[in-house]
Amino acid sequence: MNVFITGASSGLGEALARAYAAGGASLGLLGRRADALQALKDSLPHPEKHQIYVADVNDHAALHAAAQDFIHRSGEVHVVIASAGISAGTLTEHAEDLAVIRKVMDTNLLATAATFAPFIPHMQQQKRPQDCRLVGIASVAGIRGLPGAEAYSASKAAVISYCESLRLEMRASGIRVVTIAPGYIDTPMTQVNTYAMPFLMPADQFAARALRTIQAGTSYRVIPWQMGWVARLLRILPNWLYDFAFSQAPRKGRLPPESQP
């Protein structure tokens, strides 16, 4: 199996890479940090099987070139996971946060489409496109808008809708589009949070469950399952009750401009 993963230098992407490598897959690993990617590759079983690509997913030309190189080297690509993502507390009333909102949307949403784009024609021409998977990493934060998270919640809600639309488009070819919405997973992104995170899950446990979901071709899944029930409840809450319950919820702190991603 040949698997291409963005955001592979840390967090969910790294955990997914380790899980696939343990199962014998050959990987294309894309991320911004050359040292972290090399260290990851060297630590995996049979490191010579894996390719690393140092690029920012917002550099669409570099992302496309990496995809084409992996396709050329692999012959067939079976799974593509758009795992790259960033999070930042934002407040719309601060004019300087508009640039942060744009960057979050570009990285979390637009880069997901840019990741899939070069692989779709190739997958459609493979002998068994029904064995192919395009995987979008969303978030429970995309189910309802959270306070202080205008950009992050909006970007992940958009990923959910984008992948749903893409799933319909890919149905005729047999390519499965899988949307995974993590709850709180123990990664560098969540380790900076100063508030309680219910059902916090280790990254390796998340990856193991995600691999089963991807293999099954499940259209949408929240991991862990407990957060799935929370997500179902959030979907049906009327606005007045949701606003009352969550208007004072803990929020990710707004970063000073020089620290923003």
Give CA separation, 249 vs 81, 106, 166, 227, 243, in Å: 31, 26, 33, 17, 10
Pairing of β 2-6 and β 51-54: unpaired
Rounded Cα distance between 197 and 141, Å, is: 12
Other C-beta atoms within 10 Å of 212: how many? Answer: 11
Quote the distance between the C-alpha of residue 30 and its chain's center. Answer: 13
Q: Which residues pair with 202 in a beta bridge?
A: 186
Closest CA to 160 of 143, 185, 184, 182: 143
Rounded Cα distance between 206 and 211, Å, is: 9
Three-class secondary structure of residue 77 per DSSP: coil
Give CA separation, 56 vs 30, 62, 80, in Å: 8, 8, 16
Is residue 184 annotated as a catalytic residue, yes or no? no
Q: b/e map of 85-117 (b: 16 or more CB within 10 Å)?
A: bbbbbbeeeeeebeebbebbbbbbbbbbebbbe
Instruction: Out of 20, 53, 152, 184, pick the active-site residue.
Output: 152
Q: Residue 249: exposed, middle, or buried by beta-carbon count in 10 A (0-12, 13-18, 19+)?
A: exposed
Q: Which residues are catalytic?
A: 152
